[in-house]
Amino acid sequence: MESFDEQQVADAAWLYLRSNSTATIKFDEHTLDVSYVINHEGVLVIPAMVAMLQPCDIVMFIPEYCEDCIEMHVSLQEFKEEGEHASLADRWQVYHGVSPEVQWAMLEIDAARFHEVFIDGEQLQRENPLGELEPALCKDLNENHIEHLIEICKKHTNVAVQDPVVVGVDPLGLDIRASFGIIRVPTETPFATTDDVTAFVSGG
């Protein structure tokens, strides 16, 4: 029963991680608010200050330091915007706009704590099975379902979003970019196919 409970907490933590896109990072004596994205392999990506890339203990609180946050001990792997991982920087900027930093990093989650339960970092790096279909899905939704997207954003935020843009799709929901940030639209029944996604959006 204990291991089952731990798996439940790990699943809940992954859902929570997916449902947010901002965090507070503590390194040395500094704190920094950051925005993150998750790539198709489940790796978190952030713009990084030079000081963060030096050897130090780094703790990430999602969405910020509070009672119900996820606390993660992470290691950073620097990459170049123009190198082989350029698509990761592009993904972040599609979500969040112009980066405040010129350095970039992928985050390896060493360990995490959620609801007082410790979780192995590997359990919070999960591949998106819709990853290869995501670009075509986003294009279709943004070109053919704009009115539905406006309705969905209104339903989940009580805010009228004039120009919503779907920037991410995974089995647990949609990421929609609005002028004020990312709106996470969850689904109660996980998406398994592109038809599932289209039906969900069309149904409002």
pTM score, whole prediction:
0.92
Kindly report, residue by residue over 157-187, the tens digit of the pLDDT: 888 898 999 999 999 999 999 999 999 999 9
Residue 99 pLDDT > 90: yes
Per CATH, which fold does 131-202 belong to? Answer: Split barrel-like (3.20.180)
Mean pLDDT of 118-127: 95
The predicted pLDDT at position 63 comes to: 94
Instruction: Give me the helix-helix angle, 134-144 and 146-157, nearest 10°.
Output: 90
The predicted pLDDT at position 4 comes to: 47
**Residue 3 — very low, low, confident or very high, per pLDDT cuts 50/70/90?**
very low
Indicate the CATH number of 2-124 among 3.40.50.2000, 3.40.50.300, 2.30.110.10, 3.30.70.100.
2.30.110.10
Of the chain, the end-to-end C-alpha distance in Å amounts to: 38
Kindly report, residue by residue over 143-155, the tens digit of the pLDDT: 999 999 999 999 9
Residues in the chain, how many? 204
Percent of the chain with pLDDT over 90: 79
Could you give the residue range(s) of every CATH 2.30.110.10 domain in the chain?
Answer: 2-124
Distance CA 168, CA 201 (A): 13
Residue for token digits 């999602």? 62
Judge if the upstream peptide bond of residue 190 is cis by omega within 30 degrees of 0. Answer: no
Mean pLDDT of 185-203: 94
Mean pLDDT of 59-68: 92
User: 53 and 101 in contact (C-beta within 8 Å)?
Assistant: no
